[in-house]
Amino acid sequence: MSSLTRLVLVSAIALGLGAGGGLVMSLNRPAQAALPAMIDGQALPTLAPMIERVTPAVVNISSRTRTRVRDPLLDDPFFRRFFGVPNMPQERVEQSLGSGVIVDAAKGYVLTNNHVVQGADDISATLSDGRTLKAKLVGTDPDTDVAVIQIPADNLKAVSLADSTRLRVGDFVVAIGNPFGLNQTVTSGIVSALGRSGLRGLGYQNFIQTDASINPGNSGGALVNLNGELVGINTAIFSPSGGNVGIGFAIPSTLAGDVMQQLIRTGTVKRGSLGMETQNLTPDIAQMLGVAAERGAVVTRVQADSAAEAAGLRPGDVVVGVNGKPINNEQDLHNAEGLLPIGSDIELKLLRDGREITATTKLTGRDAASAEGQILDPRLGGAQFVELGERQRQQGLRGVAIARVAGGSRAESNNLRSGDIVVALNQVDIRNVEDLKALSKRQPRQLLLTVVRGQNAFFVMCE
């Protein structure tokens, strides 16, 4: 019997179809809910054994964020005393749900999305066996939307990371997560595309696209191959309605693994830079430069002592390829810079004066300004302030980000959290770390920070 005949036979048995195509109902025997184990002497294909092995490594993540809600009247001592209002700030508590993947059972490390745990005060993870464990935030990287949390390592099961660079369009994949709060949900599909970028509101982009059903709550969950190996972290969907339409995106496991190792080692991620500024090639610019290309990134400025200068690049060059991959626009070049490890060999394909040339260099580290809160002001002790990431700048934000907040510190008691963005000090706008340092040097008696946390903006009075 051919495989096609067996498939038709299996379908007929599953639907209860007779030889004439009609629906057959027998009253002489009880209904059978399950398919037979064998057809034509061969076992029916199933993903159940793999899913049973992987599911214990996927957790449901619940995070709670407390935001102070202040009212000018409640800050007035006379008003509080006259009306008997307690001397404490009111709070608004927001809760979000997502998923995560245990990748190190011995140490309890869990990979998830930054947007699942960003700014959270309390994070908990619920395992497939029903246990709910309090989690500690290890580090986050908003630019790739990767975060690492840690849970107590007691009888945990982990999933191994596959080499996602070996994925091909058409490979079968399975998504496991917590969509709409429905625990341990499994969907399947194929890899629809690789290297997706250009999604609004996201930083460094090199996504796996899949038609496996991904919905809100799947964020941070596992995308695995048929061997049960992690190939991606589910992170976003394209949907006009907010629900699944068959276009989901996952962070490749190789990228997520590299970010995870840096977060575990240092709590932050260092990225490389070619040391040049670029813009998209337009037809007008192409005509002015005398190049025939329709796509590429035009070099507008080359920094001194940079990798670009060492490679001999100059303003007016059009970058059309990096390490054999096409560069269609500024975002493609930006992705290549941010996703390649520092020290990587870079081969640039350029158009200059109508000719195609090749330049080689090494990717150097990007100097990122930072400041320790204790040095700026004792009331900020325990917080580390860093420049905003690319994703945050793309969202139109200006200010400085809080990379970490030490437990039990004054910064924590003042309601500052890792992932917060400070946009003003005493209602004076902050653009970068240097602005924060300059304003702090004035040693203001009052220290009022304007903080953005998630979708909320509020004041924090540091004491």
**Mind giving me the DSSP string for 287-345?**
HHHT---SS-EEEEEE-TTSHHHHTT--TT-EEEEETTEE--SHHHHHHHHHHSPTT-E
Q: Do 272-365 and 370-462 agree at the fold level?
A: yes
Give the CATH number of domain 54-270; options: 2.40.10.120, 3.90.1150.150, 2.170.190.11, 3.40.50.2300. Answer: 2.40.10.120
- Which residues, 6+ apart, have CB-to-CB distance to 25 below 8 Å? 16
Residues 145, 317, 332, 377: which is the catalytic one? 145
Task: Of 276, 288, 271, give the one whose Cα is nearest residue 143.
Answer: 271
Cβ pair 259, 139 in contact under 8 A: no
Residues 63, 115, 334, 440: which is the catalytic one? 115
Establish whether 115 is a catalytic residue: yes
Considering only 172-176, 242-246, 248-252, which range has the smallest mean pLDDT? 242-246
pLDDT band with cut points at 50, 70 and 90 for residue 8: very low
pLDDT band with cut points at 50, 70 and 90 for residue 367: low
Question: Is residue 454 scored above 80 in pLDDT?
Answer: no
| Average pLDDT in the chain | 81
Cβ pair 101, 127 in contact under 8 A: no
Establish whether 219 is a catalytic residue: yes
Q: Which two tokens stand for residue 303?
A: 């920094």
- Residue 202 is predicted with a pLDDT of 65
pLDDT band with cut points at 50, 70 and 90 for residue 14: very low
What is the domain partition of the chain in residue ranges?
Answer: 3-45, 54-270, 272-365, 370-462
What single-letter DSSP state applies at residue 178?
A: -
Tell me the pLDDT tens digit for each residue of 80-135. Answer: 555 555 555 556 666 778 899 999 999 999 999 988 988 788 899 999 888 999 99
Q: Phi and psi dihedrals of 132, rounded to 5?
A: -115, 120
Fold exhibited by the domain 272-365: Pdz3 Domain (2.30.42)
Residues 63, 96, 219, 440: which is the catalytic one? 219
Model pTM above 0.85 = no
Return the percent helix, strand and coil in the chain, to nearest 5.
Answer: 20, 35, 40
* Measured distance CA(229)–CA(131) in Å, rounded: 24
Establish whether 334 is a catalytic residue: no
pLDDT band with cut points at 50, 70 and 90 for residue 390: low
**Distance between start and end Cα atoms, the chain:** 80
pLDDT band with cut points at 50, 70 and 90 for residue 271: confident
Tell me the pLDDT tens digit for each residue of 300-320. Answer: 999 888 899 999 999 999 999
CATH of domain 370-462: 2.30.42.10
- Residue 91 is predicted with a pLDDT of 60
* Measured distance CA(397)–CA(417) in Å, rounded: 17
* Measured distance CA(437)–CA(428) in Å, rounded: 13
Query: Which comes out higher in pLDDT, residue 206 or 455?
Result: 206
